[in-house]
Structure 1
Amino acid sequence: MSKHIDTDLDELLKAWEDTYKKGQLTLWIFLALKEEPKYVEEIRTFVVEKSQGSMSCEEQSLYRVLRKFEHVEIVGHELRKGNKGPDRKYYFLTELGVQLFHRFVERNIHIFFQDDIKSILV
């Protein structure tokens, strides 16, 4: 591949990934909270580590999203003692949030496990 095509390909890939990642943050937050309740820094760390660094998010963005989720009652929080300093908000999926997560996975993720789709991805 020529250097020009390689550069164009990298630019197209970055644009596609940027769009993809904006829509994926909710999924990654739900994955983090499905595992167990977490405070914001733990959610951020989960997202970065489990996505192998392909996803990242600022704490402020997470707080904003979590407030929206709490407003529609798919996420809740409880205060727990921190290691030092003030209590921390530990976020968790509510019953509604768990149901929403399962339906999303059933409709949008399980299709990638079909043999005909898996063979295309390989």
Structure 2
Amino acid sequence: EQERLVAVKRVRGLFEDLIDCKRILREVAILSRVRHEFVVRVFDVVAPGSSQNWDELYLVMEICDSDLKKLCRTDVTLTPLHVNTLLYNLLVGLDYIHSAGVYHRDLKPANCLVNQDCAVKIC
């Protein structure tokens, strides 16, 4: 099997709040079915321990260099070409999500992952 660097999102207390539980399970269902270059990819979902008493979930996801929130807070100068590329990639990804009948509801800079090549991954 091919080795790759991944990000692991740990979700604790999965069943403590029913609303949060539904939100997380909806996120998992959506991310596992959409495939687009500007949407973060989920490779696997892992529930540790026995299925009788687990309350954690691990999402094994595509890794990115940073997010727009962190990028905007750094002392990096973005050229107009960088800004246009980031915005274009974000809008293309958002258009794809909308065409799949999904509306993000929590789109913010921290949920827009970025790589050094200005590729945006909506998560």
TM-score of the aligned structures, taking structure 2 as reference length: 0.28
Computing the radius of gyration from Cα coordinates, the structure with the larger value is 1
TM-score of the aligned structures, taking structure 1 as reference length: 0.28
More helix by share: 1
More strand by share: 2
Q: Per chain length, whose mean CA-contact separation is higher, i.e. which structure has more relative contact order (CA < 8 Å, sep 6+)?
A: 2
